[in-house]
Chain A
Amino acid sequence: MEPITYGWGLPPNLSVHGPAIDHLIIVIHWFMAALFVGWGAFFIYCLIRFRKRPGHSAVYESTHSKLPKLLEVGVALFEVFLLVGLSYPIWSKYKNQPPAEDQAVSVRVVAQQFAWNIHYPGQDGKFGKSDPKMISGGNPLGLDLNDPAARDDIVTINQLHVPVHKPVIVHISSSDVIHGFNIPVMRVKQDAIPGMSIPVWFEATQTGQFDIACAQLCGNGHSMMRGYLTVDTPEAFNAWVADQEQQLQPPPIAPAPAAPAPVTPGSEG
């Protein structure tokens, strides 16, 4: 595990799809810098050369050169290139080509104020049913333990473990307000929206522990909604999974869901 350092500039990129995004960011910034320096030089030249002074007067007719129009067309063409040459393909390739489910690690992330509930399907590869009515302090996902598929499911809080060099599909949702699932070093960002489950994917290229941040204002704990992504070697990952499975309790007899006091809009706080 090589230690990574953060500084000014882009954070280190440790995902397979990330370099294309970084490349685009860098290309655009060179384009912006070129335009700004060009405009700025012309601007300052004009400010000095055309200042009011004795013996100098303004000219009514504009000097009509083709240069500005050419420049304008050039800017437009470069934007077409940014779109068609870079942004469309990068975005489409990333969004429209999910890894095959059977070759990837699938995991659900259900955000809540102010934590990330991480849900692994367990050995059967099936996520157990969850029902919001069963949500309680000890069962933040409302996992229905009467469902056989739920019995081997692993649920952690704020601890996302994935193997290195293997695609990971994260199905992102939220149980309360909108959050933003963000792993800066993986160039992953996706709003976690209640009522929707939205998949994102990445493949880590290096082991280590990294931050999961919340990108969308979600309440007074927004800035402290820190999760941890642990990228393990395949062996270490399997060992972690085995360890988690051992900790699973034998399925309890599902208690009759207590009727908690309902929350009504506007009543919090």
Chain B
Amino acid sequence: MSHHDHHEAAHELSWIQKYVFSVDHKVIGIQYTITALIFLFFGFCLMMMMRWQLAFPGEPLPVIGNLFSDSTMPGGVMLPDFYNSLGAMHGTIMVFLGVVPLSVGGFGNYLVPLQIGAPDMAFPKLNAASYWSYFIGGVTMLSSFFVPGGAANSGWTSYPPLADIATTGQTIWLFGMVALITSSLLGSVNFIVTVVQLRAKGLSFFRMPFFVWAQFVTSFLLLLAFPPLEAAGVMQLMDRLAGTSFFLPTGLAISGTPMAVSGGGSPILWQHLFWFLAHPEVYVLILPAFGLVTEIIVTNVRRPLYSYRTMIYSVIFLGFTSFIVWAHHMFMTGMGTTISNFFQTTTMIISIPSVILLTVLLLTLWGGSIRYTVPMYFALAFLPMFAIGGLTGLPLGLTASDIHLHDTYYVIGHFHYVVAPGTLFALFGGIYHWYPKVTGRMMNRALGKIHFWISFIAINGIFMPMFIQGIAGVSRRLAIPNIYEHAQAVQGTNVFMSCSAWLLGIAQFIFIYNFFMSLKTGEKVTSDNPWDATTLEWLAPTPPPHGNFSKEPHVYRGPYEYSVPGEKQDFSPQFVA
């Protein structure tokens, strides 16, 4: 202890070293969290603008419409190219700059070393490099709004040849992606080494909190799935800048003019490389959220998980299987029945461990004594909404029903239920749950509950009608939503969805206010373990200092020993002998 203090005093850190170019996993975690929250809100703002165009096509956007340039919104009316830019950037920002950085970079960085009893990540400087690479990727992406032709407008999927012939924004998008992928790769290596090497004494793999397991599996997904996309991104850059035709077949003609490229490439190759990343990416989005929800639910149910080992095996199995389902995104590319039958089969198989994870959490409630804290509201709401997201994957995963539903709003509803009402709710729950550890103060409960209820109602108001539109056959990514007769029949739902989206946007100001005001006025916590929880992060002082623990922690039992018969308290922490 005293030696440690000496060490600290010898290297008095400047403010910039401490809070900006820090190598402390907690500071980096907070940097990731704040940056990602800003990007999430920005990405949501893009969508709120698109929702105006979808609800009232061709009408000028009130109030802020006139602030935009004539090349994007002349007279406040959104041009299709700008709509497409907003759509592509909404997807990119939410996935690569919002949810993943928040769940892996933010929560993963902050919590994993604490939960395994480590003083920091294994490679602190690599950790800082990962954040700054992410930051550069983010700034690069944002800068693309200001180049001629605007930001990337070929969808977050960037299918060539459309992306190959798109405006300069696409080139910037690719550079941004390369930086973001680099960030994820640096982070994932760090997590794997940290979890393998730096666990506290007594913390065997099967005593690790489920959140650590989820991050561990997630890191392998990032490490193995991102390199193909990085390669594909560089190939698309070459197509755009160096005249190659990796993704361009022979004989292309744009606007009646033959393209001067050698050809011989394949647009389908991009899709394979992209989805080889992007399907595991779905599990990168969902597994850390599952981890957060598990921690919150167990803490507030006051009893152990129904079956801890089943969850671990399921999450490992999910990780492996997520690498062999990617082509279910491509059933309409004309693949043969053998291949498509393989992929629809693996898709049904991967639904089994997901159902098991959900079932174990549901069964954990049985016999509990449920404390309805604000984080518990969010964690509980995650369960049915993730279930909707998972279940609606079934008709998309079966080739025959996919014929009608492919590329419709049904798809949008499906994956948003997984990542928006699903993952985002888990992340909100996580913020409310760990806020007292990070700041030493509680967030306001009443505001938290108001934030929850409005968000819960509004978010379902946005995404539930998407299934109606999808069943009606409405294509996704339509800048003018009501050209077709079958779309006109459901145009009314667009108005309802847009109003829900704006309501959801307003509700977030309650959260933002609560988040900042609680720093000053929140109720101070009187204990390092305000939730009476069992895992190691609650042993650390509040807020945890550099190096995390006052003395080296030792682990004596599994992570979720609540209400052990014969014990005085209803929780038996891992760190108490």
Binding site for B on A (CB under 8 A): 5-11, 20-22, 24-25, 28-29, 31-32, 35-36, 39-40, 42-43, 46-47, 50-53, 56-63, 68, 71-72, 75-76, 79-80, 82-83, 86-88, 90-92, 94-96, 112-113, 132-133, 135-137, 140, 142, 175-178, 180, 182, 184, 187-191, 193-196, 198, 211, 213-224, 226, 260-269
The answer to whether B366 touches A191 (Cβ under 8 A) is no
The answer to whether B304 touches A132 (Cβ under 8 A) is no
Asked if B22 is an interface residue, CB under 8 A from chain A, the answer is: no
Residues from chain A with a CB closer than 8 A to the CB of B355 are 72, 75
The answer to whether B398 touches A262 (Cβ under 8 A) is no
CB distance from B388 to the nearest CB of A (A): 7
CB distance from A196 to the nearest CB of B (A): 7
**How far apart sit A194 and B263, CA to CA, in the bound complex (Å)?**
11
The answer to whether A21 touches B372 (Cβ under 8 A) is no
- Asked whether A87 and B369 contact (CB < 8 A) given A180-B332, A213-B484, A262-B258, the answer is no
- Asked whether A57 and B403 contact (CB < 8 A) given A193-B333, A265-B164, the answer is no
**How far apart sit A109 and B396, CA to CA, in the bound complex (Å)?**
26
CB distance from A107 to the nearest CB of B (A): 17
- Asked whether A8 and B489 contact (CB < 8 A) given A57-B369, A193-B333, the answer is yes
Asked if B62 is an interface residue, CB under 8 A from chain A, the answer is: no
The answer to whether A176 touches B155 (Cβ under 8 A) is no
Of listed B153, B171, B332, B407, residue having the most chain A CB within 10 A: B332
Closest residue on chain B to residue A136 by CB atoms: B256
Please give 4 more A-B residue pairs, beta carbons under 8 A apart, in addition to A25-B471, A87-B401: A62-B303, A91-B340, A223-B478, A266-B166
The answer to whether A263 touches B259 (Cβ under 8 A) is yes
Asked if B528 is an interface residue, CB under 8 A from chain A, the answer is: no
The answer to whether A189 touches B332 (Cβ under 8 A) is yes
Binding site for A on B (CB under 8 A): 79-81, 84, 149, 153-155, 159-162, 164-168, 170-171, 239-241, 243, 248-261, 263, 266-268, 301-304, 306-307, 332-334, 336-337, 340-341, 344-345, 348, 351-352, 355-356, 358-359, 362-372, 380, 383-384, 387-388, 391-392, 394-395, 398-401, 403-408, 468, 471-473, 475-481, 483-486, 488-490, 562-565, 570
The answer to whether B570 touches A58 (Cβ under 8 A) is yes
The answer to whether A135 touches B81 (Cβ under 8 A) is no
Residues from chain B with a CB closer than 8 A to the CB of A176 are 161, 165, 252-255
| 18 interchain pairs, CB-CB under 8 A | A47-B370, A52-B372, A62-B367, A72-B356, A75-B352, A83-B345, A86-B398, A87-B400, A92-B341, A135-B258, A177-B165, A194-B161, A213-B475, A216-B407, A222-B478, A263-B258, A266-B168, A268-B166
Cβ 8 A contact of A265, one of B81, B240, B266, B570 = B240
The answer to whether B254 touches A79 (Cβ under 8 A) is no
The answer to whether B472 touches A182 (Cβ under 8 A) is no
The answer to whether A68 touches B363 (Cβ under 8 A) is yes
Cβ 8 A contact of B161, one of A36, A42, A142, A178 = A178
**How far apart sit A194 and B345, CA to CA, in the bound complex (Å)?**
29
- Asked whether A217 and B477 contact (CB < 8 A) given A43-B362, A43-B365, A262-B260, the answer is yes
The answer to whether B483 touches A194 (Cβ under 8 A) is no
The answer to whether A32 touches B392 (Cβ under 8 A) is yes
Residues from chain A with a CB closer than 8 A to the CB of B351 are 79
The answer to whether B403 touches A60 (Cβ under 8 A) is no
The answer to whether B254 touches A113 (Cβ under 8 A) is yes
Closest residue on chain A to residue B271 by CB atoms: A178
The answer to whether A47 touches B380 (Cβ under 8 A) is yes
